[in-house]
Amino acid sequence: MGFPGTWMTESESVIYRVVPKCACSTIGQIMFYSDHGRFFDGDIHDSTAGLHKWAQEDSQALIERTVKAQKTYAFTCVRNPYTRILSSFFDKICGIQRNGKRYRGNLVPLLVQKYGIEVGGDDGKQEFDQIQSFRRFLLFARDTIRWRKPMDPDIHWSAMSGHVSTYIANGGRYDKIFYTETFNDGMREMLDHIKTPHKVDLKKIPKFNESEGHGPTRAHPVEDYFDDLSKHLVWEIYKRDFQLFKYDFENPGNKLPIGEIDLDEVHAKLGD
């Protein structure tokens, strides 16, 4: 299985396990900058040089050796499950992607037909009932994760603990897992632990948001999208994420964690 979703700087200063919808674009660009003194021109997910990625065959042996040696600082970043699944809906389902097309081709027509979801018309910019459509999307996301029907779960809405676990199960260990919601604090701590060819000033780092502008703007507060049934579905899908990463299940309006991540607990429970 190896280490899918794992990125490492060419200087081997730091290793990062990508978790989709958790500031991965900004993190990747900071890693790129720390080696080269410049940002990658374009979406960092499209880079094929300047950053080691498991998806690049030439990088795999080096990543595997470095991960298993456990001498290089390794980290990942997580996000509140409520805001993460909402972001996936507006970006991937309602939005037009970088290539000018809908995400995954026939996915949206399938959702419109089978689940009665609206997405704001052909350009994603027309008015529609966001709350009703999101709740129907949540049913679909649950179906993909629980029964792998009508398709396998997508990386953007599959549980964070699943992404985080592959790194542990194959012989890696995290030195830090921090929160998207307190991003600068987490990145500062990580950068303080490593030596980089180029100094990173977090105050001057722009926010790289690959999904920004793809879809309609969220029209309501987060908590308005989640009634009792929606919360039940979210718990069914993301129970482990709430428990391990200490987010507030009871209050969808509270995006901040309510505890500290216990790395030993994460490694014990996700390493099986």
| DSSP secondary structure code for residue 223 in this structure | G
Q: Are residues 17 and 140 in the same domain?
A: no
Quote the radius of gyration of the chain (alpha carbons, Å).
Answer: 19
Note whether residue 261 is domain-resident: no
Note whether residue 264 is domain-resident: no
Note whether residue 67 is domain-resident: yes
Q: Are residues 125 and 228 in the same domain?
A: yes
pLDDT in tens, 2-47: 999 999 999 999 999 999 999 999 999 999 999 999 999 999 999 9
User: Domain containing 145: what range?
Assistant: 81-155+214-237
Q: Are residues 21 and 140 in the same domain?
A: no
Q: Are residues 145 and 232 in the same domain?
A: yes
Three-state DSSP at 205 gives coil
pLDDT in tens, 193-202: 999 999 999 9
pLDDT in tens, 210-250: 666 667 889 999 999 999 999 999 999 999 999 999 999 99
pLDDT attached to residue 181: 97
pLDDT attached to residue 129: 96
Task: Name the band, by pLDDT with cuts 50, 70 and 90, for residue 97.
Answer: confident
Q: Are residues 99 and 118 in the same domain?
A: yes
Q: Are residues 91 and 149 in the same domain?
A: yes
Q: Are residues 97 and 128 in the same domain?
A: yes
Note whether residue 20 is domain-resident: yes
pLDDT attached to residue 211: 62
For the ranges 77-91, 115-129, 192-206, which has the lowest average pLDDT? 115-129
Alpha helices in the chain (DSSP H): 24-36, 57-69, 81-88, 107-115, 130-147, 160-169, 183-192, 228-245, 263-270
Task: Name which residue leads in pLDDT, 272 or 247.
Answer: 247
Sheet containing 73-78, strands listed edge to edge, beginning at the edge strand earlier in sequence: 51-53, 6-9, 14-17, 73-78, 176-179
The total of structural domains in the chain comes to: 2
Q: Residue-wise over 55-68: b if at least 16 C-beta within 10 A, else e?
A: eeeebbeebbebbe
Q: Are residues 176 and 63 in the same domain?
A: yes
Q: Are residues 147 and 164 in the same domain?
A: no
Answer whether residue 267 shows pLDDT above 80.
yes
Q: Are residues 43 and 95 in the same domain?
A: no
Contacts of 176 (CB under 8 A, 6+ apart): 73, 74, 75, 186, 189, 190, 193, 263
pLDDT attached to residue 98: 80
Contacts of 161 (CB under 8 A, 6+ apart): 240, 241, 244, 245, 270
> For residue 158, what are the β-bridge partners?
none
Note whether residue 46 is domain-resident: yes
Task: Name the band, by pLDDT with cuts 50, 70 and 90, for residue 251.
Answer: very high
Residue type, 25: S
- How far apart are the C-alpha atoms of 54 and 43, rounded to whole Å? 17
Residue type, 180: T
Looking at residues 46-61, what average pLDDT do you find? 97
